Amino acid sequence: MSARQVLTAEQMRAAEQALFDAGTSVADLMEIAAGGAAEWIRRIAAGRSVTVLCGPGNNGGDGYVIARRLREAGNAVSVIAPLDPKTDAARDAKARWDGPVGTAGGAAGDVFVDCLFGSGLTRPLVPEHALLLRDLAARHRIRVAVDVPSGIASDSGAVLNDRLPAFDVTLALGAWKFAHWSLPGRALMGQLRLVPIGIGAVAGAAQLIARPQIAAPAGDSHKYRRGLLAIVAGAMPGASLLAASAAQRAGAGYVKLLAPEADPRTPPEVVTDSAPLGEALGDSRIAAVLVGPGLGRNEAARARLGDALRTAPALVLDADALMLLTPTMLVRGVSTLVTPHDGELETMCRAFGVIAESRRDRALALAKVSGMVVLAKGPDSCVAAPDGRLALAPPASSWLSVAGTGDVLAGIAASRMATGRDPFAAACEAVWLHGEAARRAGPAFTPSQLAERVSEALAACL
């Protein structure tokens, strides 16, 4: 789990302090971290020249160690440092480099390494440092950032300066930071690699969503044991049909549409129950209910949502259901997952009295106040639980930015809940399966084509 944890700058400092308290010196830890980064850079450089930009703190100290290690490996190395070291470890690292140090730009070569400022930076680079960074990056063909690119806020991924360079590779030291998985900063980092330094598991740390482990159905399984998912249809049945198509491929044994009337587009493998909704929801075999895709926002839709909230054993709420939901409607402590995009998340935050800025903070606050798990979807999706757990999604295909893919995601999540997963686990599994299905679908797919790839994504987890 420690290789998947995502730490704030404060958590990272505390984790490093735990290593110091256990007997590792600052200098020794710098040698471990920078040595691991240097090995990556040595392979990237493949004998070519390297320029290292060093700052005044321990990130700059890492740069001096990297420069020394690369020189020992036979690379031609230049070091640029606009400021003198300000920490003992950085001063010692510079002394061990024992080579020339330039103070201005003009150096050119094959590989540029940014060690100017690391994860502790919270304010913009001063103009002369931003100019130096841009100039050196422009003079090199390959660009590598150590820990976090200078000018990007570690805890948010905010880009603090205009016209920051894009990097080909970013080497995270010790643990992932939020910036590595958060836009807009993530877009400037290129490929991401983790350099382990012995950091242990940190209590309460966010986790990166990884490929889930999903077991095939037991030998004596049947459709109800695998999970009956009921999808409440409404004014626009096409959305619920998309969700049903994805849900059938995500593990549930039985997917049923609860619709006022059968839609002629409904495929034969999808059963439609047109009984009054309260009666249909009374089936004790139902394991989970999905409400929202195509529901509508009129009074009839509100009544259908209310019926589901009063009777469902577990719930996934999406789309229109999120726009209709109010705190007074949550009358039962049933396991519930909500899947808002940014506009729906903003509406829900207003309804529940949540005030927060970022998608991540809004999701955490909404989960805490409502008791629901929140899958805040977007180009950098996250999953937040009422107890404070947080999971971040790795980048998925940008081709997902098309109408209907949210219905597919909701269907996957509801299917996973019908199989018995709790809302947090179901959301994390759904995010990964959704992204993998998109990867397999290639470019410019329709939501139906995306749904058809879900079973392939599921097979990759067996």
- 116-154, pLDDT tens digit by residue? 998 878 899 999 999 999 999 999 999 999 999 999 999
Per-residue confidence at 390, pLDDT binned at 50, 70, 90?
Answer: very high
Helix (H, G, I), strand (E, B) or coil at 111: strand
Residues paired with residue 384 on neighbouring β-strands, in sequence order: 374, 390
Residue 300 has pLDDT above 60, yes or no: yes
pLDDT of residue 331: 81
What pLDDT score does 109 carry? Answer: 83
Instruction: Tell me what percent of the residues of the chain surpass a pLDDT of 90.
Output: 93
| Residue of 273, 278, 243 whose CA lies nearest to 256 | 273
Which uninterrupted H or E stretch holds 307? helix 299-311
pLDDT at 200: 92
Average pLDDT over residues 174-189: 97
How large is the C-alpha radius of gyration of the chain?
26
What is the rounded distance in angstroms from the CA atom of residue 420 to the CA atom of residue 430?
13
pLDDT above 70 for 414: yes
Contact 143, 171 (CB under 8 A): no
Task: Give me the mean pLDDT over the 241-267 stretch.
Answer: 93
314 pLDDT band, cuts 50/70/90, is very high
Taking alpha carbons only, the member of 382, 403, 386, 412 closest to residue 447 is 403
For the chain, list the domains and their CATH numbers: 2-203 (3.40.50.10260), 223-459 (3.40.1190.20)
Q: Using an 8 Å Cβ cutoff, are 114 and 51 in contact?
A: no
Q: How far, in Å, CA of 212 to CA of 461, rounded? A: 6
Choose the weakest-confidence range: 123-127, 230-234, 270-274. Answer: 270-274
Total-model pTM: 0.94
The answer, yes or no, to whether residue 262 has pLDDT greater than 90, is: no
Average pLDDT value for residue range 409-422: 98
Mean pLDDT within 305-328: 97
Give me the half-sphere count of Cα atoms (radius 13 Å) on the Cβ side of residue 140: 33
Least confident of 217-221, 259-263, 385-389, 434-438: 259-263
Average pLDDT over residues 15-36: 96
Confidence of residue 1 (pLDDT cuts 50, 70, 90): very low
The average pLDDT across 213-232 equals: 94
pLDDT at 447 over 80: yes
The pLDDT-based confidence of 101 (bands split at 50, 70, 90) is very high
For the segment 407-435, the average pLDDT, to the nearest whole number, is 98
pLDDT of residue 106: 75
121-153: string of b/e by CB count within 10 Å (b at 16+)?
beebbeeebbebbbbbbeebebbbbbbbbbbbb
Q: Which residues contact 205 (CB under 8 A, 6 or more apart)?
A: 5, 6, 7, 11, 175
* Mean pLDDT of the region 174-181: 97
Q: What integer pLDDT is reported at residue 264 of this predicted model?
A: 83
Share of the chain above pLDDT 70, in %: 100
More confident position, 64 or 219: 64
Check: CB of residue 407 under 8 Å from CB of residue 318. Answer: yes
Q: Name the residue type at position 12.
A: M
Q: Which helix (H) or strand (E) holds 448?
A: helix 447-452
DSSP codes of every residue in 150-212: TTB-TTT--B-STTPPP-SEEEEESSEEGGGGSTTGGGGS-EEEEE-------TT-EEE----
Residue whose C-alpha is closest to residue 114's, from 73, 74, 156, 161: 161
Band the pLDDT of 431: cuts 50, 70, 90: very high
The residue among 333 and 195 whose pLDDT is bigger is 195
Could you tell me which residues come within 8 angstroms of residue 70 by beta carbon, excluding any fewer than 6 positions away? 38, 41, 42, 45, 50, 52, 77
What is residue 120's predicted lDDT score, i.e. its pLDDT? 78
The mean predicted confidence, pLDDT, of the chain is 95
Assess whether pLDDT exceeds 60 at residue 277: yes
Token code pair at residue 263: 């839609």
Task: State residue 75's pLDDT score.
Answer: 96
Burial 282-309 (b: 16+ CB within 10 A, else e): eeeebbbbbbbbbbbeeeebbebbbbbb
Model pLDDT for residues 63-82, shown as the tens digit of each residue: 999 999 999 999 999 999 99
